[in-house]
Amino acid sequence: MAAGSIEHEGPDMGVGDFVLLSDINMDAFMKNLKLRFEKGRIYTYIGEVLVSVNPYRDLPIYGPEYIKSYKGREMFERPAHIFALAEAAYRTLKQRSLNSCIVISGESGSGKTEASKIILRYIAAVTNVSNQAEIQRISNILIQTNVILETFGNSRTNRNDNSSRFGKYMDLNFDYKFDPIGGKIQHYLLEKSRVIKQQLGERNFHSFYQLLFGENNLKEYGLNLKAEDYYYINQGNCCKIPKIDDRNDYQQVKQAFKVVGFTQDEISTIWKIVAAIVHLGNLQFTDVDGEHCSITRSNDNNDQLKWISKLLSCEESDISSTLTSRVVAARNEVIQARQNMTRANYGRDALSKALYERLFEWLIKHINKTLAKENNEQLTHGYRTVQSSLVIGVLDIYGFEIFENNSFEQLCINYCNEKLQQLFIELVLKQEQEEYERENITWQHIDYFNNKIICDLIEQSRTGIIAHLDEACIAVGNITDEMFLDSINKALKSHKHFSSWKLSPGDKIWKSINNNKHFLIRHYAGDVVYSVDGFLDKNRDTLFDDFKRLLFNSKNPILSSMWPEGEKSITSVTRRPLTAGTIFRNSMISLSNLLSSKQPFYVRCIKPNDEKSPNIFDQTRVEHQIAYLGLLENVRVRRAGFCHRTPYDRFVQRYKIIDSVRSKLYPRGVPTKENAAYICRELNLENDVAYGNTKLFIKQPVSLFELEKKRTAGLQFIVVILQKYTRSWKQYRLYRREISVIKIQNFFKKYRARSYINKLNELFRNVSNTSDFGKSIKWPAPKPGFIPMNNMLKKTYQRWRAYKVIQRIPDDQRAIFELKLLAADYLRQRPTFQETSIRQEWKGDYLLLPEENSHSLEYRKSISELRGKDNFNHVLFSTLSIKLNTHIKTDERAIILTERYLYKLDPKKGFHIRKSGISIDDIISLSVTSGKEQLIVVHLTSNHDLVFYMHTKNDRVGEFVGHVAKLKRRASNFQVDVQRYVSATLDKNKYVINVTWGGVDKIEFRKGSNKNISLMLPNSE
């Protein structure tokens, strides 16, 4: 698209800012919005608020040419675009060092999630190009987190194929160069009830279908049935959606896991948990006697309990016991109560929801660790304090929801939208009007609806709906949902935004509804009828401790770590946990406070129709959204008010450098109201400003832009003046204090250097004829200015002396000498190497020596066969050893090292070749102990390490390490770990090996507890 079409909009495109409409009414607003939608102009301003209409199609307005067009531009220099809003938030960060936040609100399906992704991509594209590689890495992680969170937190609803079923607030952290350095994600109210139940036409979370339709090896998860046969994911009768490519999405999320930094074990555990939940949905119970039940088993490969046990790494008996009985502790007595089928099914569903919720929380914690910034301190520069980490927050949270059946989740979601609307009212409408009144500015007052009364109805302590719900949950006795409804009917009967059949039986809305289980709240977005069915259970969010202990004791350490509370004893006393409603209310209050502390920017998303069509503009649906979003009130306030306000001192201080006023005000102009008025008169802004008590108010954004433009031009003049004076001062100082002494300094430096060199010449004149080549000579102390040259001379002398020393070594011993030097680099922490090993003779192939090996002829024959088989040149090192096998037993083996393979031969069977050799390329690293014992662990890529002990008189650890290090010299990641205790991986299990002396007659390995192995050595060793 041409640049001109980016920069200009003709009258046929409508008005790009609703504030500029001739008439402010719903008809004019709708006419302009519809025209722009039909022309593909989906963005429109209301002052600095951006209205976005979901186009339900891809538009070519997000490419590099658009990013370039909006980068560094003021918000009103270009047509309305989400890039302009993102640039304004980023510029607030850079120019004013203020944290900002972008609040994205609207109905489900209005494009909120897509808007947040576009903002992330823009910020990643416009940050500092000098460090683009690192920025791209951080930005890529930020973008890939969306892929993961959409997979596990989004689902298909009747209104949206990719609806966020959780709220997300992301902080993007920036360093002092305003480059992104990380971030943090907070989530709110995952709709976990969707895990076990979906309405007709809706799906469970995307993750379940991506696994079933994307994974090629489903047998690994025991998923042998069709997707339609699994109860937890088939209730909506729409497992497969034409517009959703689950197979491709599965590949994308697997790649995203790798980018964000998940290990293969962690990825495997994630999908095992998802598969286990699918199996739980098909787990059935058989009634025993009306009070007890048992799990229904099958003899084929579709036995659900067997696969749940395998996927969760828990014993079948433990899972069965936990699902069909409950352990209760009373007065230090532990009682096991059997469950009937109703309670067992409830427990199974609770376990499924908790598993998925805990997995989601763990995913976000893992992502936050990857995104965590390292430094949040403040740096002080002169008289300024600059915060080293600034923040742009992006809030993408569920929109207002009205379904045929509205339950506890919809109450929480709609309460969240009430809080956001209240925040919008306070920050945009209420504060605006209050400030005009406080500053004594004459303007037209605009009436607006303040929805604080609705927020209080839900959240107020003691009297709100959540408070009554909590009371019902903790009350003693069999309290039902209907009893809770009766309690709020009595408490809220006089509230004008609350109603029910009992309070208003004549209302038409109750004719087709079960009257005893519903109540109505008159939200700012419209009336919503809620069913109290399940309110108490969902608010309690009960998960028995039996399940927590079961999952904590899983053999999968990753799954176990998700359930730390399961470690508590059965008899331990725990505090009553907060209810789900209270937790959500507290999080919403905290979110409001967080957003209030930042400079807000708003994206108000609108859904043009319910058919997801790019060609339909539903007048009634859109009018309803405009009304409850308060957009007309926002236009009226902006139209009657001012786009910018600033204190007089800041205004004068900022704009006194403009050319036409500089002569009077710069540099010592007093920042008063009179001088502010003088600037406005000189720039012909008198008709577009108002003077408050402490602030100057500017009506039109164009005037503010003109001020900034003239200030930028004036700033160039000031910079030139400062540069001129600075250069003059610098030259004056150089002339007066430096130029006159330069020659003297140069001559003195040359004299001092020459004297020092002459002194060195005298000291080192005949060192080539001495035994130590001058090592014992003490160097004279150099003067401070000559220290770098002196260090260079010392390095040159040391290299010359090393060369002379090496020349003395016979040619046949030089290779061994270099090998010892190489080993010494790796074994600095092993004292015995420095004391003995490095000084003894290294012979390499010890098993060829009769004094070392009485069966040397058999050994020679075996090596000859190996050489013909594996085509290696010669044996570098060989010795007898005691090897640790996979059963934690000892075997006698000969260790043979060649330039291509490492062999283990059986000396008792004529050095028989038991297995093929280990390729040198498969060796990752070595581990040796820091003591005198000759224990070596060879770490391999197969995760099955070679552990052996060399039973020899002389220490040969250094010789073996030297040969292996020389072979692995080209491998940059090779290392030798020297520790008191070494670790090894045997049969994919990690063990710690410690050394114990005495108490045995021969060398042996013993298996201890907690993955420990002891190497037992006799004192004679």
The residue-averaged pLDDT of 796-821 equals: 81
| pLDDT (tens digit per residue) in 662-675 | 777 766 667 788 88
Distance, C-alpha 98 to centroid of its chain:
23
Q: Select from 756, 778, 808 the last residue of a domain.
A: 808
Q: How confident is the model at residue 313 (pLDDT cuts 50, 70, 90)?
A: very high
Query: Is position 989 within any domain?
Result: yes
Confidence of residue 611 (pLDDT cuts 50, 70, 90): confident
Query: Which of the four pLDDT bands, split at 50, 70 and 90, describes residue 429?
Result: low
- Give the mean model confidence (pLDDT) for residues 290-299: 91
Of 55-59, 172-176, 255-259, the one with minimum mean pLDDT is 172-176
pLDDT at 512 over 80: no
891: in domain: yes
Q: Based on the fold, state whether residues 871 and 853 are members of the same structural domain.
A: yes
439 with 694: CB under 8 angstroms? yes
Tens digit of pLDDT for each residue in 364-383? 999 998 887 543 433 333 33
The whole-number average pLDDT for the span 140-169 is 88
Domain membership of residue 711 as a residue range: 645-731
- Mean pLDDT on 870-893: 89
Secondary structure (DSSP) of 973-985: T--EEEESSEEEE
Confidence of residue 149 (pLDDT cuts 50, 70, 90): very high
- pLDDT recorded at residue 132: 65
Residues 989 and 869 both lie in one domain: yes
| C-alpha pair distances (Å), 66 with each of 69, 124, 126 | 5, 14, 11
Same domain, 966 and 830: yes
Q: In this predicted structure, what is the pLDDT of residue 382?
A: 35
Q: What is the pLDDT of residue 776?
A: 84
Is 63 annotated in the active site? no
pLDDT at 330: 65
Q: How far apart are CA 607 and CA 3, in angstroms?
A: 29
Ranges 16-25, 348-357, 386-395: which has the least confidence: 386-395
Distance from C-alpha of 46 to C-alpha of 64, rounded to nearest angstrom: 26
Please pick, among 113, 139, 554, 927, the residue that the annotation labels catalytic. 113
Query: Is 108 noted as a catalytic residue in this protein?
Result: yes
Amino acid at 958: G
| Per-residue confidence (pLDDT) for residue 398, from 0 to 100 | 76
- Whether 957 and 864 share a structural domain: yes
Q: What is the mean pLDDT of residues 250-258?
A: 95
Domain endpoint, select from 756, 787, 808 = 808
Active-site residue, 669 included = no
Residue 131 confidence (pLDDT): 62
Residue 422 covered by a domain? no
CATH of the domain at 880: 2.30.29.30
Q: For the residues 428-454, what does the mean pLDDT come to?
A: 78
> What mean pLDDT is predicted for residues 459-487?
91
Q: Tell me: do 876 and 957 sit in the same domain.
A: yes
Same domain for 788 and 872, yes or no, is no
CA atoms within 13 A on the CB side of 233: 27
Q: Give yes or no for residue 910 having a pLDDT over 50.
A: yes
pLDDT for res 566:
87
Q: Which amino acid is at 214?
A: G
Say which amino acid occupies 559: L
In 694-786, alpha helices (H)? 701-734, 740-763
The DSSP letter of residue 426 is: I
The question of whether 5 is a catalytic residue gets the answer: no
Q: Identify the three-state secondary structure at position 340.
A: coil
pLDDT tier at 739, thresholds 50, 70, 90 = confident
| Residue 1021 CA to its chain's centroid (Å) | 52
- Beta-carbon contacts of residue 862 (< 8 Å; ≥ 6 apart): 905, 910, 911, 912, 913
State residue 387's pLDDT score.
45
Report helix, strand or coil for 780. coil
The verdict on 705 and 830 lying in the same domain is: no
Mean pLDDT of 634-651: 78
pLDDT of residue 4: 38
Q: Are 467 and 458 in contact (CB under 8 A)?
A: no
In a domain, residue 351? The reply is no
CB atoms inside a 10 Å sphere around CB 763: 14
For position 2, what pLDDT does the model report?
36
Residue 823 within any structural domain of the chain? yes
Q: Known binding site for ATP: residues? A: 106-113
Name the average pLDDT for the chain.
86
Share of the chain above pLDDT 90, in %: 36
Residue 742 belongs to a domain: no
Is there a domain that residue 167 lies in? no
**Residue pLDDT, tens place only, 264-279:** 999 999 999 999 999 9
Q: Does the pLDDT at position 615 exceed 50?
A: yes
CB contact at 8 A, 45 and 51: yes
Catalytic residue among 109, 393, 692, 917: 109
pLDDT band at 129 (very low <50, low <70, confident <90, very high): low
- pTM summary value: 0.63
Supply the pLDDT for residue 65.
Answer: 93
Report yes or no: 150 and 206 within 8 Å, Cβ to Cβ: yes
Domain count, the chain: 3
Shared domain check, 977 and 924: yes
Residues 909 and 926 in one domain: yes
Q: What residues contact residue 320 under an 8 Å CB cut-off, 6+ apart?
A: 294, 295, 305
Say what the alpha-carbon torsion angle 612, 402, 543, 235 is, to the nearest 10 degrees: -50
Task: Give the pLDDT confidence score for residue 66 in this predicted structure.
Answer: 93
Catalytic residue (one of 32, 54, 105, 108): 108
- Mean pLDDT calculated for residue range 800-804: 83
* Nearest Cα to Cα of residue 866 among 898, 843, 907: 898
Residue from 44, 69, 145, 160 carrying the catalytic annotation: 160
- To the query of whether residue 163 is one of the catalytic residues in this protein, the response is yes
Statement to judge: residues 784 and 891 lie in one domain: no
Which is the catalytic residue, given 163, 269, 352, 414? Answer: 163
Lowest mean pLDDT among 280-294, 332-346, 562-576, 892-906: 562-576
Instruction: Let me know if residue 73 belongs to a domain.
Output: no
For residues 793 and 865, state if they share a domain.
Answer: no
Flag whether pLDDT at 571 surpasses 70: no
The total number of residues shown for the chain amounts to 1021
The pLDDT value given to residue 383: 34
Residues 648 and 671 sit within 8 Å (Cβ to Cβ): yes
Q: Determine whether 1014 is an active site residue.
A: no
Q: What is the pLDDT of residue 719?
A: 84
How many distinct helices (H) and strands (E) make up the chain? Answer: 34, 34
Active-site pick, 87, 150, 401, 959: 401
For 678, residues 6+ apart whose C-beta sits below 8 A from its C-beta are 661, 664, 665
Task: Please identify which of the residues 47, 393, 399, 641 carries the catalytic annotation.
Answer: 399
E strands, 199-324, where?
285-287, 293-295
Domain identity same for 709 and 801: no
Our answer to whether residue 160 is catalytic in this structure is: yes
Task: Report the SS3 class of residue 895.
Answer: strand
- Confidence check: pLDDT of 682 > 60: yes
CA–CA distances in Å: residue 775 to residues 37, 118, 398: 86, 67, 76
Q: Per residue in 315-342, pLDDT tens?
A: 999 999 999 998 887 666 778 889 999 9
Q: Which residue among 731, 747, 780 closes a domain?
A: 731
